[in-house]
Amino acid sequence: MTEQPNQPRVKKSFYDVLWALCEDKGIIEYWISEGLLGKSNDTFYWTAKAQNKFNYTVVGERKGSVELPVSKKQTEKQKKEEFDSKVSENKLEEFLSLFSSKNLGISGKRTPHITVVKKLIKFFEDYPMYNMDTIIRATKLYIEDHKKNGTMQYIRECGYFIYKKIDGIDQSDLAKWCQEAQDGGQSYTSRTIL
């Protein structure tokens, strides 16, 4: 997939890129030949064979939409209740206070409480190995690193430190710093070239 000269770059979704990679590697044709993927005009769909093999059902009008088994579904309310049972309000406030203008010496780095809770819920789903103590230690390392390097103006806003969408993909500085905190803060810093 080489880019044609003098043609503007078109921003594509993750799934568009994934589909293009599958086409490029011949995976689409393989799925069709195996009877897993069907094609009608310009529309592709998962066949009954694929549904049986991967144990999912097609829902609604849109062919290929996946309905997860009920046991894997979890409502936002359930996620919030689970979060509240794991994270005390004191720990959450301690984390939020690290991004206060009083602590940082600059303003505009705090995120609304509800946004932080939503991002932390997702964070704990993606990184269940970390807890609030590790998150607080990691955040302190992150802030200390910026203070030490004189780069406080570049510190991320609290919500973006947890997750920031870059090129359509959620990326987490917090996860990187949690790993560093678990390694004792000695393995490397964000400024070190590996």
* In-domain check, residue 9: no
Lowest-pLDDT choice from 15-29, 71-85, 104-118, 131-145: 71-85
Using alpha carbons, select from 63, 42, 39, 33 the residue that is nearest to residue 51: 63
Is residue 68 located within the same domain as residue 82?
no
Is residue 50 located within the same domain as residue 140?
no
Mean confidence (pLDDT) of the chain? 78
* In-domain check, residue 120: yes
Could you give the number of structural domains in the chain?
2
Is residue 88 located within the same domain as residue 104?
yes
Is residue 108 located within the same domain as residue 147?
yes
Is residue 67 located within the same domain as residue 88?
no
* In-domain check, residue 6: no
Residue 107 has pLDDT above 90, yes or no: no
- Do residues 86 and 135 touch, judged by C-beta distance below 8 A? no
Is residue 24 located within the same domain as residue 98?
no
- pLDDT on residue 53: 75
Is residue 118 located within the same domain as residue 170?
yes
Is residue 65 located within the same domain as residue 105?
no
| Residue the block writes with tokens 């993606």 | 126
Residue where one domain finishes, among candidates 72, 90, 118: 72
- Which tops the pLDDT comparison, 100 or 54? 100
Is residue 52 located within the same domain as residue 80?
no
pLDDT digits (tens, 9 = 90+) for 156-184: 999 999 999 888 888 899 999 999 888 87
Question: In angstroms, rounded to a whole number, what is the distance separating the alpha carbons of residues 168 and 21?
Answer: 17
* pTM summary value: 0.57
pLDDT digits (tens, 9 = 90+) for 12-60: 777 778 888 888 888 888 888 888 888 777 777 778 887 777 766 554 4
- Do residues 132 and 91 touch, judged by C-beta distance below 8 A? yes
Kindly state the tokens that stand for 154: 């570049």
* In-domain check, residue 87: yes
pLDDT digits (tens, 9 = 90+) for 64-97: 444 444 444 557 778 888 887 888 889 899 999 9
* In-domain check, residue 53: yes
Is residue 86 located within the same domain as residue 154?
yes
Residue-range definition of the domain harbouring residue 35: 14-72
- pLDDT on residue 110: 81
